[in-house]
Amino acid sequence: MNKFIRKTLSIITVSLVVVIALYVSLSIYITHKIEDGLRNLPLHIQLDYKQIEIDLLSASAELDSVSLQLNSPDLSTKLLSATLKTIKIEGVSYRDLIYNRKLSITDLKMNSPKVVQYNSKLKKIKSDSLNKSDESKKPVKIYLEQLSLTNGSFKKYDSLHNINTSAKSLNIFFNKINYNAKDNKKSIPFNFKSFRIEGESLMAQTSEFEILNVENFKITDKIFQMNNGTFQTKYSRKELNNHISKERDHFLIAFSAINAKKYVLKGLDSNAISLKIPEIRLEKMDATIYRNKLKADDLTHKKLYSEQLRYIKHQLAIDSILISDSKITYAEKVKVGAQPGEIYFKNLNATIANLGNNYPKEKAVEIKVNTTFMKSTQLKVDWSFNVNDKNDRFLFKAGFGALPAEDLNPFVTPNLSIGLEGVLEETYFTIGGDKRRSAIDFKTRYENFKVDLLDRETKKEKKFLSNILNLFIAKDSKENKNNFRWSDVKDVERDPTKSVFNFIWLNARKGLLGAMAGNGKK
């Protein structure tokens, strides 16, 4: 081997050694910088891992067997913990790490995160209780081009250590995340451009009595979707009686899908949250509502919907809610040993416009319903009220098609011990009122109408009393012009301890009695 070749090989060997040495040194240095960055997260964020591997050429890293714990800012309370199989970091900016003390990452992937949140009451943080060494540090900055969590799970415990929220098969994606430690006191201490959250088997206890279950869901910055869900009382009808001292609805609401598109949500990092939704679609809802009237009355003041919406804490504006192909059943038990009385609405389609407290003063909530009442009676409802009107004025219009009176017997017989005969061929009424009183304009056309008073125990007709009662009721409306009988009731007083639907019922009952037992003239 001549001298030139030996010299060339020596230069190559030395160069390779130098390059390898530089690569190893730089890898160690970069690893140290990343670990330093992770160690210098805010003190209430604890991050541990088994090992970290660095690929200097691709500017990537991988952490194995990761655990994360988030405490309250004063370090007194554990808020959240998580374990992950791996965290993969790709596209680290060396320049930002070295010169700007900023962790800039192109892609951060979290595999199989298992997250547990604890529902603990936080103490108020005093300014002098913050860790002084933490204050003296230069704020940590983090930028993520993309963050993804795949195949995750989530559980949230209440103060009694019971699970009140959970979900499986979670996939979460965020784009363009910026985090600055100086913003850590905000509700959401980072900002982002867009996100997507998908999951299955969602369970959320929304109150002491109610629970939501959803087969699968998808939420992004533009759409909200839940499929095959139920919202229901978590106790059976019998069990609920053991948990309440006053009347409370027991219900089960099942739905095929709830969809919202192009919504705008603002103010999550503050106390001024604003939500605007152009349209919500609720498909194939089946609601069953039951009330045990044997329990003591709930005598608390009941607000009309306009007042409830007016005083929502945050700003809400839903331009349109569309309900399609749905059903509602209401059952009421008023007598021991008797079956609950029941009424139902099927083939229900409805629209609700301008729902919320963030509309111009002149814009009213408008509710339109088209449904089948009981077996085959067509019913249309047109209901409007203005949220900004502190008198809570409203207008309620309804029109019924042919209603065989016997269709009402499953409700009135168990509850009122009466039976009805005949046909209400057409019925229309308009109610105008406010939160205290109302008036109703009522008209109906009917044939061979008869009320049978029944014995409470045997359900047999009390013929003598029935005959006396029917002397005061016009048998039909044929003798009147256009075959309608009318009534105009001027003053119906609302019971403020009852719901708005009780108020509607009071009006309808007085209107019907006035038409049948009054002079029947317009």
Of residues 293, 285, 281, the one with CA closest to residue 328: 285
Of residues 116, 107, 114, the one with CA closest to residue 89: 107
Residues 490 and 510 sit within 8 Å (Cβ to Cβ): no
Q: Is the pTM of this model over 0.95?
A: no
Can you give the pLDDT at residue 128? 46
Write the CB contacts of 343 (distance below 8 Å, at least 6 apart in sequence).
Answer: 329, 330, 373, 374, 408, 410, 411
Can you give the pLDDT at residue 132? 46
Of residues 129, 85, 89, the one with CA closest to residue 108: 89
Q: Residue 465: left (phi > 0), alpha (psi -120 to 50), or beta?
A: alpha
Can you give the pLDDT at residue 394? 98
Which tokens in the block code for residue 4?
């030139």
Residues 462 and 433 sit within 8 Å (Cβ to Cβ): no
Which tokens in the block code for residue 377?
């009676």
Residues 397 and 430 sit within 8 Å (Cβ to Cβ): yes
Can you give the pLDDT at residue 459? 67
Q: Which residue has the tokens 């997250």?
A: 115
Can you give the pLDDT at residue 155? 94
Residues 192 and 174 sit within 8 Å (Cβ to Cβ): yes
Can you give the pLDDT at residue 186? 61
Helix, strand, coil percentages, rounded to 5, for the chain? 20, 50, 30
Residues 376 and 351 sit within 8 Å (Cβ to Cβ): no
The predicted-structure confidence for 15-69, as pLDDT tens digits, reads as follows 555 445 555 565 666 667 667 767 777 777 888 888 888 777 777 888 899 898 8
In this prediction, the residues of the chain whose per-residue pLDDT falls under 50 are 18-19, 122, 124-136
**Could you give the 3-state DSSP secondary structure of residue 435?**
coil
Can you give the pLDDT at residue 64? 92
**Could you give the 3-state DSSP secondary structure of residue 316?**
strand
Can you give the pLDDT at residue 375? 94
Of residues 180, 499, 187, the one with CA closest to residue 314: 187
Which tokens in the block code for residue 346?
């099927």
Dump the DSSP string for 184-214: TTSSS-EE-SEEEEEEEEEEEE-SSSEEEEE
Q: Where are the beta strands (DSSP E) in 278-314?
A: 279-283, 286-292
